[in-house]
Structure 1
């Protein structure tokens, strides 16, 4: 291991450390034994982290990830945190790994979440005056589903973070989104529902819609399945907005703030929540980005493949593996791919495969 872990947060955030505590695998035992031999001063912080991880594992509510009871989960988190809040860090990131959910019999396809609570200075005395924020992060190649305190159901795609405050459903219903999520919003005319995503703001009263706004993208996509939403540019002082009707797909270009609206089969855009990926005339570069998130893979467009960045593809993925998908791409266009094995560990063998796509 090259990285040095200093605070409890560092251990909590480490998927390898979670695996070490929860699975006690021989591979991780060897790693961490060597690590603590080199950095014995970090053992105290590691022990604090292990207590929190094991406390989360023993929580009574093992609700399926397909329908998370947030109120109860948050309450249990705070009870666990109260035991160990003496550490100095202001932000703690807790990752409940796949192992926890496998332990309680949840299907292997169910995702693990990284839950974080942003605590401000003087947490106890200020908690009634300052908002606290709950963050839910779904990592690469995973998906999750949760129910917000107001009854709104949310499907969360991979590499997505959702953030909301403890004032949600009392003073406001505001969601900060980085990534992609599908919402079925509980109706409440007195308390509009807002989603802020990467420079765009979507206002809702009660509806079904999808928002896609990854930080590395230069656009935000909003797809309306049912109901009504208003789309506006965050920070636009003019107050102008665009109202969408069911079947609309709006793309906000963040570079020039222009919005384009198309009418198409919007169910293709939300098929991901049911385990499918539908591509309709999607450029190769965007296809590869989506495949990287879906399969937790590194795909490199090399050599003359740059000339094919905008080559459109149309296909659907449901149960296919990444090599099967790449084979299809190579048949549908003048492409070929190869694999490169990446030894991330330096000691215990191959950890990752890089897929290199090039022109032929």
Structure 2
């Protein structure tokens, strides 16, 4: 029976199905019968895609080709070196979309169609602002995607985030505001917090600026209540969490267009630069040293200025920019 559910989910995400069949699948997925098995099948698919994030297996390629249609707005014309990460990004996004639509169905007791979803996507090098139907203000970082309904109904206000965003939640004690991501969930009534959940990153983090939030993680089996100026960081690979008291100005630096790296490896720095600048970064991750660096760049600092400083400080790499590509090699 377990393999049966896994097979159905995998067939759906790999197949080019009609809108009517998609609707039937979402109804089946959201039906409470065998709900645990279906949730496990979705989770297994996520885990499989996570395991394949650094490989070029046939499964990951075929799945990406299908799922890219689901989240086509995040497709970018990139070089082969960048495409691996993008495939995992799109697969993760599509899994979240499926889970989110399923959640919407669970919140309704009737058989009517699920509420229409709105997708807000911020492209590379961009930043987005929007106000949700309940009055909650959201500021989104580059390459972030937010999924939310046209109108909130039911017992809570649920949205899905892929990437990083700051939320100033409109207070409504009768309808908690819930932000969901893979293996991570933040619940608030009226507060301000920053959530960072980029697919491909080893850690997820939630930082409370004001008010109070509950953060669930580890397959939503563990929870922590945060106080203002506290940050919970969760490692999705080791399944461990920690509480910090960060410099809030550094947590929110991205909202001002600044780039801050603290004890960060070159590989991690490049991952952030890929989201900030409209360039394809071509490099061999295995050739980069694991040394940690601390940098702070002001708003509107060009990629050339950033790379010049990184090259000079690290002393272990060189770079060149040609058209829309940045080539990085070790020395």
TM (norm. structure 1) is: 0.58
1:242 aligns with 2:242: no
Q: Which residue does 2:293 correspond to in 1?
A: 312
Cα deviations across residues 312-351 of structure 1 (Å, max 9, x unaligned)?
Answer: 222223121001000001111113423253xxxxxxxxxx
TM (norm. structure 2) is: 0.63
1:298/1:94 CA distance change after superposition, 3 Å: closer
* 1:168-187 alignment runs, 5 A limit: 168=152, 171-187=155-171
Cα deviations across residues 74-129 of structure 1 (Å, max 9, x unaligned)?
Answer: xxxxxxxxxxxxxxxx979789xxxxxxxxxxxxxxxxxxxxx99x9xxxxx9954
8 Å CA contact retained: 1:334, 1:359: no
The runs of at least 4 aligned residues of structure 1 exceeding 3 Å deviation read 90-95, 126-129, 300-305
Q: Could you say which structure has the larger radius of gyration?
A: 1
**Larger mean Cα displacement after TM superposition, 215-224 or 172-181:** 215-224
1:148, distance to aligned residue in structure 2 (A): 0.4
* 1:260-339 alignment runs, 5 A limit: 260-302=242-284, 305-306=287-288, 308-339=289-320
Name which of 175, 200, 205 aligns with 2:184.
200
Q: Which residue does 2:215 correspond to in 1?
A: 231
Aligned-residue CA RMSD (Å): 3.0
1:169/1:181 CA distance change after superposition, 3 Å: farther
Q: Which residue does 2:240 correspond to in 1?
A: 258
Cα deviations across residues 240-265 of structure 1 (Å, max 9, x unaligned)?
Answer: 41011111121111123211111120
1:214 aligns with 2:198: yes
1:304, distance to aligned residue in structure 2 (A): 7.4
1:139/1:229 CA distance change after superposition, 3 Å: same
Q: Which residue does 1:359 correspond to in 2?
A: 330
8 Å CA contact retained: 2:215, 2:224: yes
1:141, distance to aligned residue in structure 2 (A): 1.1
Cα deviations across residues 255-303 of structure 1 (Å, max 9, x unaligned)?
Answer: 2321111112022111111221222222221111111111122223448
Provide structure 1 residue ranges, at least 5 long, that are not aligned to the other structure. 1-89, 96-116, 121-125, 342-351
Structure 1 CA distance, aligned partners of 2:286 and 2:309? 19
Provide structure 2 residue ranges, at least 5 long, that are not aligned to the other structure. 1-68, 75-96, 102-109
Say which SS state the counterpart of residue 124 (structure 2) adopts: coil
Normalized per residue, which structure has more helix?
A: 2
